[in-house]
């Protein structure tokens, strides 16, 4: 099992944080462009899912899967968006994202008055804690693909 | 009376900064003066516990004695009264500070309760009620629904913010607890809801209960990504 990379978006679509661990394929565009592309796609999928759904769904879009990787999506009611790419064998990645929100984002961004909301996160402590959380997760087993 | 609050900011690891806020407490005529020390001890033993929600790495909330919170808030109001002189400005500042607290506090609430978006305004009312339970240790009652279901009141029998407080006569227009409407407005705005909030009754002004009115204004739309220029 492998974790590839992580995006955190604010409710207005600003890329708050990006981190990668095992990423072999580079997109070939700048990080900013990639983030815009990613956010645009997520936004489209979300509205597509809610329009096309035959039932009234509460959660909406949760993940998609290709032959090589799975994208897990977790959005809080306040509009924060956590996006995690893992391989297809990874289970419970959503729980990991919720844990990231609860134990890292809340503690080291929201409760840090010097971290402005809706701006890219600069805090070193936040970076360290994100890294710690993912590396101790059972999903994180770095092996070359 | 002077005391300091020490807060360690986790923003950088290399420099271990310690910020010291010196707050001079001059609570608007506190009842402390009239209370004997034995009564104080009794109060301390029974007083509600306020959650100031600095949890560190553990998830279970660290509890804070509500008296410290009450007095810190009192000193804040007293300081504002000194700084602004005009009571209307103080009301406005308190609301603004509440708003800034609310937009962060909502994340704490959501992470703690794991609740989703509200189905209707009654759902919202219950969530606000549980928020008061979590953060202030009190459960206000939800009453006086408007026929359209877009307005309700929160009634507080006890309010940790106003313990030991009496309003002097010349401050009768001061809305002492005006952070609370601000917190509600800020928190609701973050979950795409615009609400208006105000006090209709106040125990500090010799009403039986403190009544906070909440009115649903409109639902805010989700942000659309910025288009390519």
What residue spans of B59-205 are helical by DSSP H? 66-84, 87-113, 121-136, 179-190
Would you state the pLDDT for residue A17?
95
Nearest Cα residue to B190 out of A73, A126, A68, A118:
A118
User: Residues 55-114, chain A: which have Cβ within 8 Å of B?
Assistant: 58-59, 76-80, 98, 101-103, 105-108, 110-114
Name the CA radius of gyration of chain B, rounded.
Answer: 19
- Which whole number is the average pLDDT over A53-64? 86
* pLDDT classification of B223: cutoffs 50, 70, 90: low
Lowest mean per-residue pLDDT among A100-109, A121-130, B41-50, B212-221: B41-50
Identify all chain B residues contacting A61, using CB atoms and an 8 Å cutoff. none
User: Is residue B28 a contact partner of residue B165, using CB atoms and an 8 Å limit?
Assistant: yes
Q: What is the pLDDT of residues B75-118, one digit of tens each?
A: 999 999 999 989 999 999 999 999 999 999 999 999 999 888 88
User: Is residue A47 a contact partner of residue B85, using CB atoms and an 8 Å limit?
Assistant: no
For residue B211, is pLDDT > 70?
yes
Query: Which letter, b or e, does each residue of B176-215 get, where b requires 16 or more Cβ atoms within 10 Å of its Cβ?
Result: bbbbbbbbbbbbbbbbbbebebebebbbbeeeebbbbbbe
Give dist(CA B138, CA B124) in Å, integer: 17
Q: What is the pLDDT of residues A24-40, one digit of tens each?
A: 888 889 999 999 999 99
User: Is residue B182 a contact partner of residue B91, using CB atoms and an 8 Å limit?
Assistant: no
pTM (two decimals) = 0.78
Would you state the pLDDT for residue A92?
83
* pLDDT classification of B37: cutoffs 50, 70, 90: very low
Give dist(CA B44, CA B40) in Å, integer: 6
Would you state the pLDDT for residue A81?
94
User: Residues 174-193, chain B: which have Cβ within 8 Å of A?
Assistant: 190-192
Q: Is B125 exposed, middle or buried (0-12, 13-18, 19+ CB in 10 A)?
A: buried
- Which whole number is the average pLDDT over A105-132? 92
Which residue has 């959650």 as its token pair? Answer: B51
Nearest Cβ partner of B108 from A106, A113, A124?
A106
Output the six-digit token pair for A56: 């009234």
For residue B18, is pLDDT > 60?
no
The CB density around residue A72, as the number of other CB atoms within 10 Å, is: 23
Per cent of chain A over pLDDT 90 is 58
Query: Which letter, b or e, does each residue of B126-164 get, where b requires 16 or more Cβ atoms within 10 Å of its Cβ?
Result: ebbeebbeebbbbebebeeeeeeeebbbbbbebbbbbbb
- Dihedral angle of Cα B173, B176, B179, B185, to the nearest 10 degrees: -40
* pLDDT classification of B166: cutoffs 50, 70, 90: confident
Per cent of chain A over pLDDT 70 is 97
Q: Is A13 exposed, middle or buried (0-12, 13-18, 19+ CB in 10 A)?
A: buried
- Which of the residues B8, B9, B10 would you substitute to probe the A interface, choosing the one with the greatest number of A C-beta atoms within 10 Å? B10
User: In angstroms, what separates the C-alpha of B128 from chain A's closest C-alpha?
Assistant: 14
**Partner-chain contact B223 A78, CB within 8 Å:** no
Longest Cα–Cα distance in chain A: 44
Output the six-digit token pair for B31: 């009842």
Output the six-digit token pair for B34: 């009239």
User: Is residue B219 a contact partner of residue B117, using CB atoms and an 8 Å limit?
Assistant: no
**Partner-chain contact A76 B110, CB within 8 Å:** yes
**In whole numbers, what is the pLDDT of chain B averaged over residues?**
77
């Amino acid at each position: 099992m492998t974790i590839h990379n992580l995006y955190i978006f604010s409710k207005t679509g600003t890329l708050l944080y990006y981190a990668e661990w095992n990423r072999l394929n580079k997109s070939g565009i700048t990080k900013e462009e990639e983030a815009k592309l990613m956010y645009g796609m997520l936004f489209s999928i979300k509205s597509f899912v809610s329009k096309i759904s035959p039932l009234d769904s509460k959660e909406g879009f949760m993940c998609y899967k290709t032959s090589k990787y799975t994208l897990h999506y977790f959005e809080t009611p306040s509009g924060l968006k956590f996006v995690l790419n893992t391989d297809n064998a990874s289970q419970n990645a959503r729980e990991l994202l919720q844990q990231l929100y609860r134990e890292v984002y809340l503690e080291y961004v929201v409760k840090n008055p010097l971290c402005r909301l809706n701006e890219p996160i600069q805090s070193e402590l936040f970076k360290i804690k994100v890294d710690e959380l993912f590396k101790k997760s059972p999903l994180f087993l770095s092996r070359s693909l | 009376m002077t005391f300091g609050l020490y807060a360690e900011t986790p923003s950088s690891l290399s420099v271990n900064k310690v910020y010291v806020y010196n707050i001079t407490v001059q609570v608007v005529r506190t009842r402390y003066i009239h209370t004997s020390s034995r009564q104080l001890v009794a109060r301390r033993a029974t007083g509600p516990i306020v959650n100031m929600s600095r949890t560190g790495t553990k998830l279970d909330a660290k509890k804070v004695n509500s008296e410290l919170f009450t007095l810190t808030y009192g000193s804040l109001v007293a300081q504002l009264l000194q700084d602004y002189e005009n009571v209307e400005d103080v009301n406005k500042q308190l609301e603004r500070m509440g708003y800034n607290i609310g937009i962060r506090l909502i994340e704490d609430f959501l992470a703690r309760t794991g609740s989703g978006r509200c189905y209707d305004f009654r759902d919202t009312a219950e969530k606000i009620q549980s928020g008061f339970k979590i953060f202030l240790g009190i459960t206000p009652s939800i009453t006086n629904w408007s026929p359209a279901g877009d307005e309700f009141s929160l009634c507080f029998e006890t309010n940790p913010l106003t313990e030991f407080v009496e309003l002097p006569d010349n401050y009768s227009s001061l809305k002492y607890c005006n952070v609370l409407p601000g917190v509600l407005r800020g928190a609701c705005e973050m979950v795409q809801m615009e609400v208006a909030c105000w006090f209709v009754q106040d125990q500090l002004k010799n009403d039986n209960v403190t009544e906070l009115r909440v009115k649903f204004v409109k639902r805010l739309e989700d942000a659309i990504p910025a288009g390519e220029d």
